[in-house]
Structure 1
Amino acid sequence: MNAITKVAKLPKAKEAIKKLSSPSLITKALNPAQFSDPPKLARYLEKRVLAHAPGRFVVIEKPYGISCVGQLQENGGVFENSVRDDRKTEKWAGTIKARSGEQVGVTITDGLKLLRKILKEPQLSFCTGLKRYLSGAIVLPCNEHDSNILKSCIRRMSSDIEPPFMYNALAITVGSPEKSSGLITGFATFRNVGKHKEYIFEERKVSKRAKSGKYAVEGHMSYRVLDTKNGVSLVDFSVDKFARHLPRLMLTHMLSPILGDRIYWRRLMEVDGAPELISAGSRVPEFTQWIPRVLPEKFAMNNKEIMTSLPIYCHVYNTIFEDVGGYEEQGLVAASEPPAHFMAALELLDLLPAYRKFKKQSSEKTTEDSTSETSKTSGDVIF
């Protein structure tokens, strides 16, 4: 009888040990690195310089949740203003809530002053980076000439309509696209929804008038699902641009919004026990938010907390800048590993084996490419 009792208790003991380890993993998955002041951020970035070509470029690892600039860039930045009509720009400004300085927090540009001294690059400047909700490698030019080369490269590559695209990323998504891989193309635009405006994605070719008038931004994405577990998936995707929330809109359109994307995940409702996309701005009180049953358990949260407390799990693992050196076959591939909170979420959701397999296959492909004289090695920095 005692022996039987002991055997019966073993599974409970293992479960207890498992539960003891979960809180620390959950805490890690929910808490990306944070920075309270520019010097702290600059010191962090100093330790994460991925490549440095003196006088030309510095490649650093941009943390999740940190803006590069924190405000609209003059004339719209690299792509200039996305709204052509100045009157519309002024009208729309009142419908978009600007972030306060407190909400923006410390930015990459705030840390540049100290970083210039640390790296002995007096002309180090911001040119182009990644959105606040993304982590990944960004390239900082050390002179105006190379800054213009980067901008020219980005404009050209963002207009490519076929893979390979400029940005390669991993995302943990809610649910999974219907197809395990594919290519999606369409456009995002800003439209009236009730008393405010929202980004809308349409999977069709944009009209010449809308494109030339900058009322719509066209984009392309290739993707493949690496694995699906616990109601979520690990998706590898490549896009030509991140403007107008394009990748987030595209994944949501495929019924697989990025985990933690509280804006677009809210468009996915539960209808007859399955997820269904509800048009933006629609009020459907009889439907509830689509939340995979296992998520609240995995994160030890209720449904409301799940929808409001998760970071956006999306990481750009490499960005390709072709012809950066200004010569044929020369370029730069800026690559970085996912941050600690992303890795913790993979482990928590049982997607870590899929990531390791992906990394191994990518490494093997890199080795194969390095043996070819005509191929650039993915992950190498070439100037």
Structure 2
Amino acid sequence: MNVLKRIQLRRFSNEKLQSVQPQLDESFLPMNFSDPNQLARYLKKKVLAHAPGRFVVIEKPYGISCVGQLQENGGVFGNSVRDERKTEKWAGTIKARTEEQIGVTISDSLKFLRKLLREPQLSFCTGLKRYLSGAIVMPCNEKDANILKDCIRRMSADVEPPFMYNALAITVGRPEKTSGTITGFSTFRNVGKHKEYIFEERKVTKRAKSGKYAVEGHMSYRVLDTKNNISLIDLSINKFARHLPRLMLSHMSAPILGDTIYWRRLANVDGVPELISAGNKGHQIYIPPILSKKIGVPSRALLTSLPMYFHVYNTVFEDVGGYEAHGLVAAAKPPRHFIKMLDTLDLLLAYQKFKNQSEKPVEDPSMPVAKTSGDVIF
């Protein structure tokens, strides 16, 4: 068969598939970036605050990695996982994925951003996971980079709310309680013939913690609204290491919409969502019927076609030196595709109510300001 014939058949096959299976509307999907220069120009337009010579606060898009690969000796904060095999290979940076899988990253765009923002020492310090959107703070000198690192180390160790990261998640199902605090640890454990991250709601042992077999975390949450077994949850957490918030939410029978790993742990039992143990297979995954109806895509396709609807609306740095009044609060509005999903699932009103309440003046000036509007306070 010649090349032209194969192309024609492939085109016919794709067109036939598209005519049978409706495609996900682009408004439900995040933006894509083809090269570092394009990303840098976009980020320049999304600068939320700029203290010349000290910090630049930018809006990180969903699906964009800050670094995109494992760093030598764990990067900024060292290894969080005990793994001798990785340690042996660390003669330099380990690339966990191919460049095609990683895509363009914030780090890739740094050389362009430095010129666009006239900050020759602009650097990446720490940011947000690929599956998160929100504001990140980039230092413009080594001293402020170390200040940010020290602040994050202190705040990530907090065991009582309020915590450093405040986020919104659209979830499948809802926790049993409307609000509360959950404490526990995540670890990588054998489940059948493979390993998965699991969460245990109990205090981690000193041996597991010091040996880096487990990462302990704390999260407070409240359900803002639930419609058709889909919820909007406001949560505050002290760290994102080892999939902690994703595991915590799925542990409470409320996995994040679009989380292809942990959504699968919610089984459909006679039309009711029921949490199952990690590693179980052969069950029917619970997919709220309203999703397919509202979005216009077959239920099964939704498991792999949706982004993760998880947005950090503000990050609080308690003390960055020179801005002690409220510290530094880096805030960003949810992205377009997040708002679109809220509107589609009849949860937009709950978000607007939450946003209005969050932006009311704080009576106690000693309390951090909870911002969602995209403002950044120094």
State the TM bucket, normalised to the shorter chain. Answer: 0.7 to 0.9
SS of aligned partner of 2:34: coil
- Which residues in structure 2 correspond to 1:134-213 (within 5 Å)? 134-213=132-211
The offset of 1:272, in angstroms, is 3.5
- Which residues in structure 2 correspond to 1:57-136 (within 5 Å)? 57-84=55-82, 86-87=84-85, 98-136=96-134
User: Amino acid of the residue matched to residue 252 of structure 2?
Assistant: M
When residues 78 and 326 of structure 1 are mapped into structure 2, their CA distance, relative to the original with a 3 A threshold, is farther
The offset of 1:76, in angstroms, is 1.1
The answer to whether structure 1 residue 341 and structure 2 residue 337 are counterparts is: yes
What residue is the counterpart of 1:13 in the other structure? none
SS of aligned partner of 2:359: helix
| Rounded Cα–Cα distance in structure 2 between residues aligned with 1:246 and 1:90 | 27
Match of 1:374 among 328, 351, 366: 366
When residues 326 and 152 of structure 1 are mapped into structure 2, their CA distance, relative to the original with a 3 A threshold, is farther
| Rounded Cα–Cα distance in structure 2 between residues aligned with 1:57 and 1:350 | 38
Normalization by structure 2: what TM-score? 0.88
The offset of 1:178, in angstroms, is 0.8
User: Amino acid of the residue matched to residue 229 of structure 2?
Assistant: G
The offset of 1:89, in angstroms, is 5.5
| Rounded Cα–Cα distance in structure 2 between residues aligned with 1:376 and 1:180 | 24
What residue is the counterpart of 1:292 in the other structure? 288
Comparing 329-338 and 103-112, the one that deviates more: 329-338
| Rounded Cα–Cα distance in structure 1 between residues aligned with 2:102 and 2:86 | 25
Conservation of the 8 A alpha-carbon contact between 1:187 and 1:217: yes
Encode CA deviations 1:288-311: one digit per residue, 9 max, x unaligned.
111111111111111221111001
SS of aligned partner of 1:323: coil
Conservation of the 8 A alpha-carbon contact between 1:261 and 1:312: yes
Normalization by structure 1: what TM-score? 0.87
The offset of 1:323, in angstroms, is 0.8
The offset of 1:341, in angstroms, is 0.3
The offset of 1:195, in angstroms, is 3.4
The offset of 1:328, in angstroms, is 5.2
When residues 177 and 332 of structure 1 are mapped into structure 2, their CA distance, relative to the original with a 3 A threshold, is same
| Rounded Cα–Cα distance in structure 2 between residues aligned with 1:290 and 1:88 | 36
Unaligned residue ranges in structure 2 (runs of 5+): 1-21
| Rounded Cα–Cα distance in structure 2 between residues aligned with 1:316 and 1:332 | 15
Match of 1:310 among 306, 314, 317: 306
When residues 90 and 254 of structure 1 are mapped into structure 2, their CA distance, relative to the original with a 3 A threshold, is farther
The offset of 1:327, in angstroms, is 7.1
What residue is the counterpart of 1:350 in the other structure? 346
Unaligned residue ranges in structure 1 (runs of 5+): 1-22
What residue is the counterpart of 2:355 in the other structure? 359
Q: How many residues align?
A: 350
The offset of 1:73, in angstroms, is 2.1
Conservation of the 8 A alpha-carbon contact between 1:38 and 1:107: yes
The answer to whether structure 1 residue 267 and structure 2 residue 265 are counterparts is: yes
User: Amino acid of the residue matched to residue 320 of structure 2?
Assistant: V
Match of 2:320 among 321, 324, 338: 324
SS of aligned partner of 1:68: coil
The offset of 1:362, in angstroms, is 0.6
| Rounded Cα–Cα distance in structure 2 between residues aligned with 1:196 and 1:218 | 23
| Rounded Cα–Cα distance in structure 2 between residues aligned with 1:347 and 1:58 | 32
When residues 153 and 273 of structure 1 are mapped into structure 2, their CA distance, relative to the original with a 3 A threshold, is same
Identity of aligned residues (%): 73
Conservation of the 8 A alpha-carbon contact between 2:70 and 2:95: no
The offset of 1:376, in angstroms, is 4.4
Conservation of the 8 A alpha-carbon contact between 1:83 and 1:89: no
The offset of 1:99, in angstroms, is 2.3
Conservation of the 8 A alpha-carbon contact between 1:149 and 1:326: no
